[in-house]
Chain A
Amino acid sequence: MYKNFFRYLISAIFLLGFSVNSNADFKVGFVYVGPTGDHGWTFQHHEGRNAVEAAGIKTTFVESVPEGADAERVIRQLAQSGHDLIFTTSFGYMDPTNKVAKDFPNVKFEHATGYKREHSNVSTYSARFYEGRTLLGHIAGKMTKTNTIGYIASFPIPEVIRGINAMTLAAQKVNPNIKTKIVWVFTWYDPGKEAEAAQALIDQGADVIMQHTDSTAPVQTAEKAGVWSFGQASDMQRFAPKSILTSIIDDWAPYYVERAIAARDGTWKQQDTWHGLKEGMVAMGPYNSAMGADLVKEVEQLQKDLASGKVHSFTGPIYDQKGNILVAEGKVADDGMLAGMSVYVKGVEGDIPK
């Protein structure tokens, strides 16, 4: 908390400096929830910002901004200091973004992973990470010897639950005996705790580990224990060269560049974007040769089919844990259902924390 305050203070001072020499130049602002050095979520957004900068557009960013009252102040400050387009890159910035957007109708706002577009100058965008999870599930189902997949989960929000379900469904398809063991750590970011959770899952018989948290600790623990793992948010291969089978990579750069150029040229329009493998917002890291050529080929085909829409991650019949039907046979889950997903599918063990 103090760290954030400290950073915010410094950033605010910098921003004040910027506002003094603000001119007619087009400028894009970014608000990050974590440090740019987290090597996960914020790191990838920052890469996107670098791409915008490389496209010749001026940018500024404020990192480690807590979700809440501070966020509104930072966003307002950015709007006041002559930024024309502002990316707010965390779910918790949803209300502050809309609030500030109301007062600055000439500034355009882009909010990541949210669903509120209360004013015509607010767009939302997110990535279909669950498509990546489907690929991981397929690989995990084939690679496991103990039929146990360990999953380190952060917070019980639809985003995380969707990932668990997508992975489990895909794993079940190739291996009906699969069990998914889940440990909730209630943090996005605590390497020590993530490592302990990974170790607990390994001790409980999981021989494939995946995580919906931000640090590289789980893959390192897997490497040490000699079990399989997957990178999350960015390519983590060099942290666990033997253990990592592939990584899900968030690639915001093309979207950020496209939207920044649109805003500069006056063609920006409000929209809700949910891009996946098809558009490249979700990308996969290199596949580990330990998977064997056949499996790599299989997964690459599945990746193509997911991208083309031939295969959908949530294709019926899908049942919840009690056996009630969620998606009928032959149907696929619509985006509304995916966005609000709050139950486990059949085959996942345990309850979702309330």
Chain B
Amino acid sequence: MSLDISFIGILIGSIMASSVPLILAASGELIAERSGVLNLGVEGMMIIGAISGFALMVITDNLFIAIVGSMLSGVIISLIFGFLTQSLLTNHVATGLALTIFGIGLSAMLGKNFVGIPGKEFPILFSSLKESIPFFGPILFGHSIVLYFAFALPFLTNYFLKKTKLGLVVRAVGDSPVSASNQGINVILVRYCCILYGGAMCGLAGAYLSLIYTPQWIENMTAGRGWIALALVVFATWSPIKVLIGALIFGGITILQLHMQAIGFRIPVQFLSALPYLMTIIVLVVISRDSRKIKLNTPTSLGRIFYKEK
């Protein structure tokens, strides 16, 4: 194995690419959860985004429409969740699980005619710089626009939650919907918006898989990434920056363990396969030990049903 500096650059580049769906889905879910909504339908919304994006790409031959359409499809399917939990006051956990099952089934049905069609090449930015600069080239350049957006998103989310008035509203609704409501905030409306935003990000995460990362449609192609994103949000104690760190660790160790196998490290492969999960949890638990911050960040009314007495 060549452990030179340019190889490490390539390695970091591919780690970043593999973390994108986790960052997008987890950042979206984080906003929903900070508003007090526990949506376990991440996997379902992602897979719907994946098939919608791919189908639109095939039909319209336009990648921009495909990306926007995947986000819209995430919005539409999360609207079902929003309507059930916010307007009909159903249980968040049960509804979210149902959404995942529904999404996987529906995507398989919609995708019947799109199996076996090769995807289109997604444009990458600054591809010439990628080759010409050692180490930093493959890290900073030669990625799709979605990757740059994904890496900006946790910082934007952090800024939104901490520095903007709307962010404060979201947090207030998540912590104490009753007080927020008494202040004149429309709790249900805020939660609807957060759910739909989460849906859009999950849809985009799915489209990243079917349009950019492995450009094709295959049933169940998200393969559990939605659940990992959900776990990341909790273990990162609802902090956007820690979500980013967690996603990078998970993606990083997934790829490193494949490299270790290819090099021929004499470590049991099963242990290597379990390593990403193990390390991500350990690291996030260690960096999130501060109990005061946990209390501050945890949406107190997470998953509780809110209704306004009239």
**Real binding pair:** yes
Q: How far is the CA of A351 from the CA of B97 in the complex (A)?
A: 40
Say whether B213 contacts A200, CB under 8 Å. no
Say whether B223 contacts A193, CB under 8 Å. yes
Interface residue range, chain A:
35 or more
- Which residues between 87 and 117 of chain B lie within 8 Å of chain A, taking CB atoms? 97, 100-101, 104-105, 108, 111-112, 115-116
Known A-B contacts A37-B108, A204-B262; A191 and B219 likewise in contact (beta carbons under 8 Å): no
Q: How far is the CA of A38 from the CA of B105 in the complex (A)?
A: 14
Q: Which residues of A contact B266 (CB under 8 A)?
A: 350-351
Q: How far is the CA of A354 from the CA of B271 in the complex (A)?
A: 11
Interface centre among B21, B115, B268 (most CB of A within 10 A): B115
At the interface, yes or no: B270 with Cβ under 8 Å from chain A?
A: yes
Contact with B along A204-220 (1 / 0, CB 8 A): 11100000000111001
At the interface, yes or no: A298 with Cβ under 8 Å from chain B?
A: no
Say whether B112 contacts A37, CB under 8 Å. yes
Q: Which residues of A contact B278 (CB under 8 A)?
A: none
Say whether B118 contacts A239, CB under 8 Å. yes
Q: How far is the CA of A239 from the CA of B264 in the complex (A)?
A: 30
With CB as the reference atom, state the residue of chain A lying closest to B105. A6
Say whether A350 contacts B268, CB under 8 Å. no
Q: Which residues of B contact A7 (CB under 8 A)?
A: 105, 108
With CB as the reference atom, state the residue of chain A lying closest to B119. A220
A353's contact among B214, B259, B270, by CB below 8 Å, is which? B270
Q: Which residues of B contact A18 (CB under 8 A)?
A: none
With CB as the reference atom, state the residue of chain A lying closest to B254. A196
Say whether B262 contacts A191, CB under 8 Å. no
A37-B111, A182-B262, A189-B220 known, 10 other contacts, Cβ within 8 Å: A3-B104, A3-B105, A3-B108, A3-B220, A191-B214, A192-B18, A193-B254, A196-B255, A206-B262, A350-B264
24 pairs of residues in contact across A and B, judged by CB atoms under 8 Å: A2-B100, A6-B101, A38-B219, A39-B218, A181-B262, A181-B264, A185-B258, A190-B223, A191-B218, A191-B221, A193-B254, A195-B214, A196-B255, A197-B258, A200-B258, A200-B262, A201-B258, A203-B10, A215-B216, A215-B221, A217-B216, A220-B216, A350-B264, A353-B268
B interface list, Cβ under 8 A from A: 1-2, 7, 10-11, 14, 18, 21, 97, 100-101, 104-105, 108, 111-112, 115-116, 118-119, 209, 213-216, 218-221, 223, 225, 254-255, 258-259, 261-264, 266, 268-270, 273
- In the complex, the 6 A-B pairs of residues with the closest C-beta atoms, listed nearest first: A200-B258, A37-B115, A353-B269, A190-B223, A204-B262, A191-B214
